[in-house]
């Protein structure tokens, strides 16, 4: 039988750590809007377009939009083209003015 160690005693450091802030709904909305914009721009640029030779056929055509949307979301999350930040600031100003 293998002996087991008792759980470590609480050192109080767990409560000293700052808890992560919940995501701001305005920032999330701005990022979603930028992601939608980027997805349309990628579509116009031909990203995800089926290749002529050795393509994936009908399946590739049907699912390419999912890949394009995922790429656009990651681009927006990584800073994108700055549209989300501009939208967030404008929405925040409007929200503060309404209060």
13-30: per-residue pLDDT in tens?
Answer: 556 667 777 778 889 999
Among 63, 65, 78, 95, smallest CA distance to 31 is for: 78
Domain assignment present for residue 83? The answer is: yes
Say which residue the tokens 């031909």 belong to.
46
Angstrom distance (rounded) from CA 20 to CA 39:
29
Least confident of 35-39, 54-58, 80-84, 91-95: 54-58
Residue numbers of the domain that contains 68: 34-48+58-99
**Helix runs in 3-52, H state only:** 13-16, 25-45
87-99: per-residue pLDDT in tens?
Answer: 999 988 988 888 7
Among 35, 27, 31, 28, smallest CA distance to 69 is for: 35
**Helix runs in 1-99, H state only:** 13-16, 25-45, 58-77, 83-98
Domain assignment present for residue 80? The answer is: yes
What total number of domains does the chain contain? 1
Instruction: Give me the pLDDT at residue 59, please.
Output: 76
- The model's pTM: 0.67
Instruction: Give me the pLDDT at residue 46, please.
Output: 86
Domain assignment present for residue 73? The answer is: yes
């Amino acid at each position: 039988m293998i002996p087991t160690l008792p759980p470590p005693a609480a050192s109080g450091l767990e409560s000293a750590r700052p808890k992560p802030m919940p995501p701001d709904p305005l920032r999330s909305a701005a990022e979603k809007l930028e992601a939608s914009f980027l997805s349309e721009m990628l579509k116009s640029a031909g990203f995800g377009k089926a290749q002529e030779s050795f393509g994936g056929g009908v399946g590739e055509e049907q699912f390419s939009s999912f890949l394009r949307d995922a790429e656009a979301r990651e681009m927006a999350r990584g800073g994108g083209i700055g549209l989300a930040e501009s939208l967030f600031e404008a929405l925040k100003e409007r929200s503060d003015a309404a209060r």
